[in-house]
Structures are given as structure tokens and as C-alpha cells.
């Protein structure tokens, strides 16, 4: 028993020695905070005592010698000490000195008003009950309350002026700096919040000169010295007036969506860019992660951010509860979707994130970004890996032990995969099998596969391989890992999407190439798509482990690509046809006019705003290891024709019942079309409807 006690003592002593530097630093910081608060409380009480004595002096108008020679002076000092003791008791209750003097605001002034008033009232009750205080003028208490309040507020203002030199300089110099002239557009409340925080930055890049409000009643007001010059109804005239003055380079900060909230058109945005305005927005929470500065970061808005789409806002609580403190792994972490998933996971508080990608440059970039901006409690590891390699993938999963896996690695460019079917099959099918098997073996709780709308009624190799990848996941549901698929359409600004292609063509002077006038696609921004993916993951976490769950994101109404091209030309300040032409090139192999999010054998039911769950009407075929091995052998042998045939037959087995339903659906559609045609010709009587 004695030896056990000694072992226990030595063990905990070793822990204490190992952690003693950190503990010592922690306790030293606590002692420094206690000393700082003690000094503040001491100053507080000295000012209260001095305010009481000064109040009596002001009320009586006594000469200085009276305080040195008159015996009654001692009674006044005793009253002052009692007043100070009462103030100390009030401070002990309300703890006003726990707040930082440097960041004092109107809230602290109100708190001080309350505490000083309570001090004066309490002191009055005490002296009235004890001695009636006949010799103490009642006006002394009012003066002491006001003087102590002014002194306590004044010391905070003096400290803030000392620490914030830009605020002090604004008292003696022009408040406008040398930054680029900045016009704020939005609610005056949000403008005030931005201006209040931006004054703390003495070297700010932008100099606010005007505010354009949503409400006409705000016009003529000044907010932190910046005038409200007009409302959004007259924005065109206001922007033209601002553009005609001062610097050739100016900036506009939109405090909300400029199109949906303020009613600007893509033509308006294009004219602003043509007039030399730099169009800005405030950074979002993910972009601000790790930024310790007091100045809110601004980001220049990309063209795709001006495209009309209703904003989506979901409660981050369920995602944070799922991710916080967990180990997560992201495949394809260097890509557009994978990198945004990684950013949002880090911002939600995961404990460790493993970044997998086969691209050295892209992996280096996202790893460097997260290491620089990530919180102290999250570790990050970058791993070069091709998910096609089964042994390497399993070894990584075994060492990283992720709780949640996000599988975003895929070949997604329709034309390239159509021309390179072997590579598409290896990455999209074999790679998904390897990741799913590794996730199950390492005991991951969740695996989420990122799919695409092109997997619905696939007309190309990319969509077909992604649909087969969806179908192989049920073969792994016999373990402790919960699998789900999230399917969505195009994302604005992702690598290989039409937006960066159009942007590059516009910058080169055109033409902007569109394959067909009637081609339309579903679109969503990258952060919005990832936010919905994470919410779908949270929904899946409450389901059964032996059933694959599929979700589809609400993509809104499809957008015609030719209309998108016209909008982007306008956003650049050009005129379609006159400045930049649109060229129709013809459909490429494997390209469809329209995409779908749900197959003919599937139904989708709403779960939460922006997400629907997909359920199959009849059982689908499952791709097993034998099918995947055959496909891998043909792909590695370079047998493109064999790969196409096997993908076609595998897809047919997966969608066998779907194909029957699809043919019936097409037959009904054809009948409806004939009925509509005859109805227009007045011959509906000759048709026997189904």
C-alpha cells in the first residue's frame, strides 16, 4: 500500500514537472491580471474619496488653510472614508472594474452611473440613521455623485485616448485619412458598427466618405463624422456624383446583397466597375477565422457573387455539435469543394483535420492557409495520396483514425472524363470503394460522399461513374460506419465551371463560348453548397448505420447558360454583342441540355430548408467488390472500350427498374405532348387519353 502511494506521488509529480512551464506561465498571467485589477480598484476608490472632499469644498467654498487647522476637517475626512468604503462594497457587488478601460463604451457609462448613484444613496441612509448628518449639506451628496461619475468616466476616456492614438489624433486633425475613398451602402446600424470598429485602425486602407442608406429619413445625418448622402432609390445619381470627385480609384462597401437587398441590376454593377469603383463586402466568419485584428477585413467581390440567388442561412448548431472536438478527414482537400469543407470544419472546432489530395500544389496551399488561420486547438496534417491506391489509403486511415470522412476526391470535368474513361473509372469508382472500405475498417462514425446531378439519368462517363460510386456504398454498410451521399449541381466559381471560364474569356475581350442556346444548369455558391453538405451530414448522423441515406440540395431554378454569359458581360461593364460577342459552339459529347437532381425511380422529401432526402421507389442494384475489381483491371490495362461497356452494364443493373420506369415516363410525356399539340390545333376530340 505504501509502494502504491509512492508510485501515485511520483506519477503525478512527473506530470507536474512536465507541465510546470505551462502552469507557471498560466499562474503568472493570472497574477498579472489580479495586480492590474487591484490597481484599477485602487484608482477607483481614490477618485471617489477625492470627489467627496472636492464636493464639500465646492459647496462650502472653504480656504485651503481651513483643511489644515479646523477640527471639523477630520470629520469630513472620516465621512469621505465612509463614502469610499460604501463605494468599495458597491464595487464588490457590481465589479465595474473588471471591464477593460480601453474598450469602454456607453454601456460602461450607464453601469458607472448606476453604481455611483447607489453609493450616494446608501451613504445618505447610513449617515441619516447614525447621526442625522446635520452638519453635512445634502447638496454635497449630489455633487459627490456627479464628480465621482465624471472622474471615473474621465479616467477611462483618458486611457482610451492614450491607447488608441488614431482616436486622439482625430480630435486635432482631419478625421479622413489617406486611404481610398469608401462609400458604405446599407442599413445605418450596420454602417455605424463598421465605422465604430474601423476607427481603431490608424492605418486603414479605406477612408469612409459617405453612406447610402435604405431609408430616406436617414439622409442628412452624420454617423461618426460620415454623412448619409442619400438612399438606395437614387443610387445611380449618387454613384455618378461620387465618381466625378476626387481619386480615380474609389471603393463601395456593400453591407448586404447589392442585387437582392438593394435592387441593383447586373447592368448597374457593370457601370460601377466601369466607373472605377472597387466593389467590396465584409469578410464572412470562415474568412475571419484566426484574424486577431480589430479592423474588420474587407474582400473584393467576385463576379459570381453578384449573380441573382436568394441567400441561405441555416442554424450552425447541429453542425457544430457534430464536428466539435472530432477528428475529420477530407479527400480531394485541395479542390474547390474539398478546400471549403476543410475551412468550415476548422471554423466549427474540429480537433484534428487530415487533408488528402494527390495534387502537391493544391494540398500545400490549403494546408498553409489552415495552419496560418486555424485555431490553436486544431491540428492539421497534409497527406499526399491518390485514393486509387488501396493499400496507401487504408494505411492513412488506420493512422489518422478519423471520426468523420468527407469524400470529395473525384474527376468531374465531363469532357475530360469522356475522353479518358479509364482514369474516370479509377478515381470515381475504385477510389470511392477504397475510401469507403478504409473508413469502415478504421471505425469512422460517418462517411459522406459528394455526388453530382450528372449521376441522375447519366448521359456521360462522369455521371455514370459517380452513379456507380453511389451504388457501391451499400456494400459497406455492415460495419459501424454510417454512409450518406449528398448530390448537387454546379457550384459558382469552382475549378472547371463556366464562371471562371467566362471570366477569363471576358477579360480577353471575348467571345464568350456557349455550347447551346437552351442549355441550362443548377447553380449554387461554394460556401452555400458546403454549408448544406454539412447540414446533410448532421441529418444523416441520426439515421441507421445499415442503410445508405441520400440527400439532394435545393438548387433553386435552373439558369440558362446563355443568360449567365450575358449577366457576366454586363457585370464587367460591357454590352453583349457590341463589346463582347457570345458564340454558340454546339453540344459536346456527353453533354445534356438540362440536368436533373432526382431520378425517375426516386422521390425527394424535404428535411430542412435547402435539403431534401432521396428515397428509391424500388430497390436498386448494388455494386460489389467483384464488379469494382473487374473495372479496375480493365482501367489499368487501358481498355477504354471495355471500361465503357462494363460501366454501361453496371449502370444498367443499378438502374434496371429505373429504366422501366423511365421508359413509361417518357411514353406518358410523349402522349402529353401529342395531346397538347392537337389541343392547339383544335383536334383534341380525336385523341384517346391514357
Same domain for 184 and 158: no
Poorest-pLDDT segment among 125-129, 215-219, 266-270, 363-367: 266-270
Quick check: 543 pLDDT over 70? no
Residue 8 pLDDT: 41
Residue 502 lies in a domain: no
Residue 499 pLDDT: 80
Residue 110 pLDDT: 87
Residue 243 pLDDT: 60
Residue 267 lies in a domain: yes
- For the residues 281-309, what does the mean pLDDT come to? 62
Same domain for 442 and 357: yes
Quick check: 576 pLDDT over 80? yes
Poorest-pLDDT segment among 187-196, 202-211, 654-663: 654-663
353 vs 359: CA distance, rounded Å: 18
- What the block records as the C-alpha cell of 515 is 455550347
Same domain for 267 and 143: no
Using pLDDT thresholds of 50, 70 and 90, give the confidence band for residue 469. Answer: very high
Quick check: 372 pLDDT over 60? yes
Residue 202 lies in a domain: yes
> What count of other Cβ atoms lies within 10 Å of the Cβ of residue 169?
14
Residue 128 lies in a domain: yes
Residue 169 pLDDT: 56
Same domain for 196 and 50: no
Residue 546 pLDDT: 73
Percent of the chain residues topping a pLDDT of 90: 21
582 vs 129: CA distance, rounded Å: 91
Same domain for 186 and 158: no
pLDDT, mean over the chain: 78
Quick check: 163 pLDDT over 50? yes
- What the block records as the C-alpha cell of 145 is 455623485
Residue 438 pLDDT: 94
Quick check: 441 pLDDT over 90? yes
Helix (H, G, I), strand (E, B) or coil at 372: helix
Residue 232 pLDDT: 67
Same domain for 127 and 52: yes
Write the CA distances from 245 to 205, 209, 215, 238, 248, integer angstroms: 19, 11, 24, 11, 8
Quick check: 568 pLDDT over 60? yes
Is the entire prediction scored with pTM above 0.75?
Answer: no
Residue 321: enclosing H or E segment and its boundaries?
helix 317-323
Q: What are phi and psi of 104, to 5 degrees?
A: -65, 145
Same domain for 457 and 385: yes
Residue 1 lies in a domain: no
Same domain for 327 and 460: yes
Residue 549 pLDDT: 86
Yes or no: say if 90 and 123 are a contact pair by the CB < 8 Å rule.
Answer: no
Question: Taking the mean position of all CA atoms in its chain, how far away is CA 538?
Answer: 17
Residue 17 lies in a domain: no
Residue 642 lies in a domain: yes
**By residue range, what is the domain housing residue 148?**
25-163
- For the residues 147-174, what does the mean pLDDT come to? 74
pLDDT in tens, 27-58: 454 455 466 778 888 898 999 999 998 988 88
244 vs 340: CA distance, rounded Å: 40
- 93 forms beta bridges with none
Using pLDDT thresholds of 50, 70 and 90, give the confidence band for residue 200. Answer: low
- For the residues 598-614, what does the mean pLDDT come to? 81
Using pLDDT thresholds of 50, 70 and 90, give the confidence band for residue 689. Answer: very low
Yes or no: say if 282 and 298 are a contact pair by the CB < 8 Å rule.
Answer: yes
Helix (H, G, I), strand (E, B) or coil at 256: coil
Quick check: 270 pLDDT over 60? yes
Report angle CA 171, 173, 174 to the nearest 5 degrees: 110
Residue 338 lies in a domain: yes
Quick check: 674 pLDDT over 50? no
> 233 or 77: which carries more pLDDT confidence?
77
pLDDT in tens, 520-531: 887 777 887 888
Residue 176 pLDDT: 56
Using pLDDT thresholds of 50, 70 and 90, give the confidence band for residue 218. Answer: confident
pLDDT in tens, 378-418: 889 999 999 999 999 999 999 999 999 999 999 988 889 99
- 252 forms beta bridges with 183, 279
CATH of the domain at 385: 3.40.50.720
Write the CA distances from 131 to 59, 118, 214, 325, 675, integer angstroms: 20, 20, 61, 63, 104
624 vs 638: CA distance, rounded Å: 22
Based on the structure, what is the number of domains in the chain? Answer: 3
pLDDT in tens, 91-130: 888 888 878 776 677 778 888 889 999 998 998 888 878 7
Same domain for 452 and 340: yes
263 vs 360: CA distance, rounded Å: 43
Same domain for 383 and 297: no
Same domain for 198 and 116: no
Residue 290 pLDDT: 46
> 296 or 489: which carries more pLDDT confidence?
489
End of a domain among 110, 130, 163? Answer: 163
pLDDT in tens, 234-246: 666 666 666 666 5
Residue 493 pLDDT: 65
Same domain for 549 and 600: yes
Poorest-pLDDT segment among 7-21, 223-237, 320-334: 7-21
Does the N-terminal peptide bond of residue 511 adopt cis geometry, omega within 30 degrees of 0? Answer: yes
Amino acid at each position: 500500500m505504501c509502494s502504491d502511494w509512492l508510485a501515485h506521488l511520483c506519477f503525478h509529480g512527473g506530470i507536474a514537472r512536465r507541465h510546470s512551464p505551462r502552469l507557471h506561465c498560466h499562474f503568472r498571467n493570472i497574477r498579472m491580471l489580479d495586480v492590474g485589477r487591484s490597481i484599477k480598484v485602487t484608482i477607483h476608490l481614490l477618485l471617489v474619496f477625492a470627489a467627496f472632499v472636492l464636493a464639500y469644498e465646492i459647496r462650502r467654498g472653504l480656504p485651503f488653510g481651513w483643511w489644515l487647522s479646523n477640527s471639523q476637517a477630520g470629520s469630513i475626512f472620516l465621512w469621505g472614508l465612509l463614502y469610499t468604503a460604501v463605494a468599495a462594497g458597491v464595487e464588490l457587488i457590481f465589479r465595474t472594474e473588471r471591464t477593460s478601460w480601453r474598450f469602454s463604451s456607453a454601456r460602461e457609462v450607464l453601469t458607472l452611473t448606476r453604481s455611483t448613484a447607489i453609493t450616494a444613496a446608501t451613504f445618505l441612509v447610513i449617515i441619516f440613521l447614525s447621526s442625522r448628518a446635520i452638519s453635512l449639506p445634502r447638496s454635497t451628496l449630489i455633487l459627490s455623485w456627479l464628480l465621482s461619475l465624471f472622474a471615473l468616466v474621465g479616467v477611462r476616456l483618458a486611457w482610451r485616448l492614450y491607447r488608441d492614438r488614431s482616436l486622439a489624433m482625430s480630435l486635432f486633425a482631419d478625421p479622413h485619412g489617406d486611404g481610398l475613398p469608401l462609400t458604405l451602402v446599407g442599413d445605418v446600424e450596420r454602417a455605424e458598427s463598421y465605422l465604430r470598429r474601423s476607427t481603431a485602425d490608424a492605418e486603414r486602407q479605406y477612408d469612409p466618405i459617405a453612406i447610402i442608406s435604405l431609408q430616406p429619413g436617414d439622409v442628412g445625418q452624420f454617423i461618426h463624422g460620415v454623412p448619409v448622402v442619400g438612399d438606395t432609390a437614387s443610387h445611380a445619381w449618387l454613384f455618378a456624383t461620387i465618381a466625378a470627385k476626387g481619386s480615380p480609384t474609389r471603393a463601395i462597401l456593400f453591407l448586404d446583397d447589392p442585387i437582392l437587398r438593394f435592387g441593383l441590376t447586373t447592368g448597374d454593377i457593370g457601370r460601377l466597375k466601369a466607373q472605377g469603383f472597387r466593389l467590396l463586402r465584409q469578410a464572412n466568419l470562415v474568412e475571419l477565422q484566426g484574424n486577431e485584428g480589430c479592423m474588420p477585413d474587407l474582400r473584393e467581390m467576385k463576379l459570381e457573387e453578384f449573380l441573382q440567388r436568394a441567400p441561405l442561412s441555416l442554424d450552425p448548431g447541429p453542425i457544430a455539435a457534430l464536428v466539435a472536438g472530432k477528428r475529420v478527414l477530407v479527400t480531394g482537400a485541395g479542390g474547390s469543394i474539398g478546400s471549403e469543407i476543410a475551412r468550415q470544419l476548422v471554423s466549427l472546432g474540429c480537433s484534428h483535420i487530415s487533408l488528402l489530395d494527390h495534387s502537391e500544389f493544391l494540398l500545400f496551399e490549403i494546408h498553409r492557409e489552415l495552419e496560418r488561420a486555424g485555431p490553436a486547438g486544431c491540428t492539421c496534417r497534409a497527406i499526399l495520396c491518390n485514393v486509387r491506391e488501396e493499400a496507401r489509403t487504408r494505411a492513412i486511415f488506420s493512422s489518422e483514425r478519423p471520426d468523420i470522412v468527407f469524400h470529395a476526391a473525384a474527376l468531374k470535368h465531363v469532357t475530360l472524363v469522356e475522353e479518358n474513361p479509364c482514369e474516370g473509372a479509377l478515381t470515381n469508382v475504385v477510389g470511392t470503394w477504397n475510401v469507403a472500405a478504409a473508413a469502415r475498417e478504421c471505425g469512422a462514425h460517418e462517411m459522406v460522399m459528394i455526388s453530382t446531378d450528372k449521376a441522375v439519368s447519366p448521359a456521360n462517363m462522369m455521371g455514370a461513374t459517380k452513379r456507380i460510386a453511389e451504388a457501391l456504398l451499400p456494400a459497406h454498410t455492415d460495419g459501424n460506419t454510417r454512409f450518406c451521399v449528398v448530390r448537387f449541381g454546379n457550384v459558382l466559381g469552382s475549378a472547371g465551371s463556366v464562371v471562371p471560364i467566362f471570366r477569363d474569356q471576358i477579360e480577353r475581350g471575348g467571345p464568350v463560348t456557349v455550347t447551346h442556346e437552351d442549355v441550362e444548369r443548377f447553380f449554387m455558391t461554394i460556401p452555400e453548397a458546403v454549408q448544406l453538405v454539412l447540414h446533410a451530414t448532421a441529418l444523416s448522423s441520426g439515421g441507421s448505420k445499415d442503410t445508405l441515406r441520400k440527400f439532394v440540395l435545393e438548387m433553386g431554378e435552373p439558369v440558362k447558360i446563355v443568360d449567365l454569359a450575358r449577366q457576366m458581360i454586363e457585370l464587367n461593364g460591357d454590352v453583349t454583342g457590341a463589346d463582347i460577342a457570345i458564340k454558340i459552339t454546339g453540344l459536346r459529347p456527353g453533354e445534356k441540355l438540362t440536368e436533373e437532381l432526382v431520378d425517375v425511380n426516386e422521390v425527394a422529401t424535404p428535411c430542412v430548408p435547402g435539403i431534401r432526402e432521396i428515397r428509391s421507389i424500388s430497390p436498386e442494384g448494388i455494386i460489389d467488390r467483384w464488379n469494382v475489381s473487374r473495372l479496375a483491371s480493365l482501367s489499368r490495362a487501358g481498355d477504354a472500350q471495355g471500361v465503357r461497356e462494363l460501366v454501361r452494364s453496371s449502370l444498367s443493373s443499378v438502374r434496371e427498374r429505373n429504366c422501366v420506369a423511365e421508359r413509361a415516363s417518357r411514353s406518358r410525356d410523349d402522349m402529353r405532348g401529342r395531346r397538347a399539340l392537337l389541343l392547339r390545333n383544335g383536334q383534341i376530340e380525336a385523341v384517346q387519353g391514357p
